[in-house]
Amino acid sequence: METDAVLYEAMYILSPDVADDEMEEITEAFKQVLEAAGAEVVADELFGRRRLAYEINHYTEGIYRIVYFNGDGEAVSALKNEFGLNERVMRGMVVAANPDAIFHSREEEEQQAEQLTEQIVEPEASVPEPTAPQPEAAEEPVEPAAPEPVAQAAEEEPGGEATEPEPEAEAAEEEPETDKPEGDVP
C-alpha cells in the first residue's frame, strides 16, 4: 500500500430484483477489483432498500450499498469501470470521504452506546461529595446614589406662579380657495 492513499467512499445502487446471494457475489467482485488495484477495504455496509428520487431503468426502488476504502486514483478508476460493466448496478459514484463520517453497522453503534453507558454509570459510584463553598472576605456594602431631582413640567415665572404653555393656534379646517373653475373639472 502506498503512503499517498486516500480514504474514499463508494456508493452504488443495485436493481431491486437482485437476490441476496447475487448481491454478495457482486460485492465480493467489487472488493476483488479494489484489492487488485492495491486498495484496502475499510468498511462495507448494506445501506438498505430505498425509494429512488426519480425512476431509473423503470425502477422506483434500489438497494444501496456503501464501501469505504483506502486507495489511489487507479483503484477509483477500476471501481468506476466495474460499475459500468455490471448490468445490475443502476448508479455508482466514488468520492473522497470524511474519516469521521464512516458508516457503522447497527451492531457497532449499539456496542459503542453500551460502552459509553458503562463509562457514565461507573463514575457515579465514585463521585466524591461536593464541599461547601468557603465564605469570601466580607465587602463593605455600597449605598445607592441619591436620586437626581425631577424636572418640573411647567416653568415658573419670576412672580413665582407656574404658567401653562399657550395652546397653538388651531389650523383652519377649510381649504384655501383656488383659481380653478368649479364647473368643468377634467
**Strand partners for 9:** 68, 95
Amino acid identity for residue 15 in this structure: S
> Does residue 11 belong to any structural domain of this protein?
yes
- Split at pLDDT 50, 70, 90, the class of 2 is very low
> Does residue 58 belong to any structural domain of this protein?
yes
Residue numbers of the domain that contains 59: 6-100
- Split at pLDDT 50, 70, 90, the class of 178 is low
Reading the block at residue 149, the C-alpha cell is 431631582
The 10s digit of each residue's pLDDT in 133-159 is 666 655 666 666 655 555 544 455 555
Question: How many domains, in total, are found in the chain?
Answer: 1
185 pLDDT above the threshold of 70: no
> Does residue 82 belong to any structural domain of this protein?
yes
Average pLDDT rounded to a whole number, residues 118-135: 61
Report d(CA 96, CA 104) in Å as an integer: 17
Lowest pLDDT segment from 61-75, 100-114, 117-131:
117-131
> Does residue 183 belong to any structural domain of this protein?
no
The answer to whether the pTM exceeds 0.75 is: no
pLDDT score for 113: 73
> Does residue 152 belong to any structural domain of this protein?
no
131 pLDDT above the threshold of 60: yes
CB 92 within 8 A of CB 12: yes
**Strand partners for 94:** 10
13 pLDDT above the threshold of 60: yes
> Does residue 147 belong to any structural domain of this protein?
no
pLDDT score for 119: 74
- Split at pLDDT 50, 70, 90, the class of 65 is very high
Query: CATH number of the domain that 68 lies in?
Result: 3.30.70.60
> Does residue 146 belong to any structural domain of this protein?
no
Let me know how long the chain is: 186
> Does residue 125 belong to any structural domain of this protein?
no
Q: What are the residues whose beta carbons fall under 8 Å from the beta carbon of 86, sequence distance 6 or more?
A: 26, 29
Q: Which residue has better confidence, 150 or 55? A: 55
